[in-house]
Amino acid sequence: MLDNILALHSGIWTANRLYQPNTHCRPSGHAIIDEKLDGGWPESGVVELQLPCFGIGELRLALPAIARGMKDSELILFATPPGELNPLALCQADLDLDKVIILDASLPSTLWCVEQALKSGCCRTAVLWGKSLSVTQARRLQLAAAENDCLLFMFTHQKSTQGLPVSCRLSVTPSADGLTINVVKRRGLPVPPFSLSLPAIYSTYSHHHHRHDSDTACINVVPLFR
């Protein structure tokens, strides 16, 4: 009976109709992320990843989406990385080094440069490491990214408790085999914490004709920082 009444009155909404999955997403390159976030990262705006410290795998988390955005972009911006980015690792992630711009951490005008890059129209993706940003600074970056069809990954410290005006916020901590992710803010229904496995930076192999420990060597993924 109730279902029939609701069907006759399109102006009445039930709770399960309040949320519609976001159809404008950028695939993350990680199946579990795409599943939990209904398709992937927002197509534009700021994705904030709160970290206990930099260098726990945050860039490896974002790199597949960064590479995807580079296909129809004139440049990709990395601002104030915590270490020297390894060009071999960027190439391994299918990034065109001719399109890569790196802003040194010592630049006092870094946030202004990032904002101008977002507004330029030639940047589809940018990455910013920042220990603390004010609400005003974050709002300017959010508007610049959202209005110019750009996705900005912003890595911040978890000790920054103040909520910033961003499209999506995740709390990320290292785990034994990758990362533990807690979705703090997003458009849509709440998501329980989940784990993302990341391949080891190094793996070992042994020579076929020798089985001594001294005969092992390291191969696999090139470290992102050097």
User: pLDDT for 62-102, tens place per residue?
Assistant: 999 999 888 777 899 999 998 889 999 899 889 999 999 99
What is the per-residue pLDDT across 196-207, written as a single tens digit (0 to 9) for each? Answer: 998 776 544 444
E strands, 18-135, where?
A: 25-26, 41-42, 45-51, 75-79, 100-103, 123-129
Q: Tell me, what DSSP letter sits at residue 11?
A: T
In this structure, are residues 162 and 65 in contact, taking their beta carbons and an 8 Å threshold?
Answer: no
> 82: Cβ–Cβ under 8 A, 6 or more apart, which residues?
54, 55, 105, 129, 225
Number of Cβ atoms within 10 Å of the Cβ of 13: 10
In this structure, are residues 85 and 127 in contact, taking their beta carbons and an 8 Å threshold?
Answer: no
pTM of the model: 0.80
- Collapsed DSSP state (helix, strand, coil) of residue 120: coil
Query: What's the start-to-end Cα distance of the chain, in Å?
Result: 66
> 60: Cβ–Cβ under 8 A, 6 or more apart, which residues?
198, 224
Can you tell me which residue has the tokens 């630049």?
107
CA atoms within 13 A on the CB side of 145: 30
- Per-residue pLDDT 10s for the chain (226 aa) are 544 544 444 444 344 433 344 457 899 999 999 999 999 999 999 999 999 999 899 999 999 999 988 877 789 999 999 888 999 989 988 999 999 999 987 777 899 999 999 999 888 999 999 877 888 999 999 999 999 999 999 999 876 556 789 999 999 999 988 999 999 998 888 899 999 998 776 544 444 444 444 444 444 556 777 7
Burial 38-52 (b: 16+ CB within 10 A, else e): bbbbbbbbbbbbbbe
